[in-house]
Amino acid sequence: MPELPEVERAARRLGKAALGKTIASAKAIHPALKRKLSPAQSRAVRGKRIDQIERRGKHQLIHLDSGDTLVVHFRMNGDWEIGPASAPLESFARAVIELADGTRISLVDRRALSSITLDKKGASSLPKLGREAIDPSLDADYLSAALKRKKVAIKPALMDQSVVAGLGNIYVAEALWEAELDPRRPAAKATKAKLTRLVEAIRLVLSPRKRRPGRYTETRGVDRFAVYDREGKPCRRCDGVIERIVQAGRSTYFCSGCQRG
Ligand SMILES: [Zn+2]
C-alpha cells in the first residue's frame, strides 16, 4: 500500500511531468472511477492549466488555473504511469490525463480502488486532516491535545488522519517500536515525554536515510522494517519475538518485550 513517502514521491513525479502544462483531455476509464469523475467534470478540466500539485496526507491535489482541483487518492494499489500519449495504454490504467505537450499520465491500479474527483473552486471534499506527519509543527503538545479526545488505543488513534495526516499502518507500527511504546495503551493517557519520543520516531521512520545503523537490514524488500510484517521473527532490540494483533481491523506488529511505554 502506498504510504506517505511513496505518495510524496508520486506527487513530485507528477509535478515534474505536469506542472505548468495544459490538460488536453482527462477521463475515467474504469466504471468505479467514472462514478467519481463524470463526463461533464472531464469536460470541465479540458484546456485548463495545472498550476500547483500539493500533497495533503495521502491525497494528491492537482490545482487548476480555473480554481477547480482534481483530488487523487491511491488507496491500496494506485500509482502514476507517465509516458508519451502515443505508447500503448497500460492494462490497469483506470483514469487518464493527457497533456497538450503529448504526455500521458495514467492512474494505474490493479484493483481499481483509487479515486479521482473534481472539487469545484472554493469547495473541498477532503476529510478533516490533522497536522502532516513530516511537518515541523507536529510536536508533543499538538499530539497530546489531539490524542486527549480519543477513546481508543494509541495505534488506531495515530492511524486517524484527523490526528496525523499521512501516517499509515506500516509507519505507525515502526514509529511505536522506535519510541518503545506499547500500541495497546490508551491514546489519551500518553505522557508528553512519551509523545516527544514518538514525534522523533515518526520523523526517523519516515526518512529512511536517518535510520540508525544496525537496526535495519537495507536489503530491498526483505525485512525493510523493524516490526512490520515480521510476525514470529526476533526483535532487533531485545530477546523478544515480533507479535501480530488486530486493532480496529488492521494488523499491528510489535514487540511486547521492549515496547512497554
Ligand atoms: Zn523487543
With beta carbons less than 8 A apart as the criterion, state whether 249 and 155 touch: no
pTM: 0.87
Question: Quick one: pLDDT at residue 222?
Answer: 53
Whether the per-residue pLDDT at 175 is higher than 50: the answer is yes
Strand 79-84 and strand 50-56: the pairing is: unpaired
How many Cβ atoms sit within 10 Å of the Cβ of residue 4?
22
How many angstroms does the Cα of residue 225 sit away from the middle of ligand 1?
13
Whether the per-residue pLDDT at 216 is higher than 50: the answer is no
pLDDT band (50, 70, 90) for residue 224: confident
Q: Round the average pLDDT of the chain to a whole number and report it.
A: 93
What confidence tens digit (pLDDT) does each residue in 68-98 have? Answer: 999 999 999 999 999 999 999 999 999 999 9
> Which 3-state string (H, E, C) describes the chain?
CCCHHHHHHHHHHHHHHHCCCEEEEEEECCHHHHCCCCHHHHHHHCCCEEEEEEEECCEEEEEECCCCEEEEECCCCCEEEEEECCCCCCCCEEEEEEECCCEEEEEECCCCCCEEEEECCCCCCCCCCCEECCCCCCCHHHHHHHHHCCCCEHHHHHHCCCCEECCCHHHHHHHHHHCCCCCCCEHHHCCHHHHHHHHHHHHHHHCHHHCCCCCCCCCCCCCCCCCCCCCCCECCCCCCECEEEEECCEEEEECCCCCCC
Question: Quick one: pLDDT at residue 220?
Answer: 44
Catalytic residues: 2-3, 58, 250
How many angstroms does the Cα of residue 256 sit away from the middle of ligand 1?
6
Whether the per-residue pLDDT at 221 is higher than 70: the answer is no
pLDDT band (50, 70, 90) for residue 2: confident
Question: Quick one: pLDDT at residue 58?
Answer: 95
Question: Quick one: pLDDT at residue 16?
Answer: 97
Cell of 24: 488536453
Over range 238-257, report the average pLDDT.
97
How many angstroms does the Cα of residue 233 sit away from the middle of ligand 1?
10
How many angstroms does the Cα of residue 6 sit away from the middle of ligand 1?
27
How many angstroms does the Cα of residue 259 sit away from the middle of ligand 1?
6
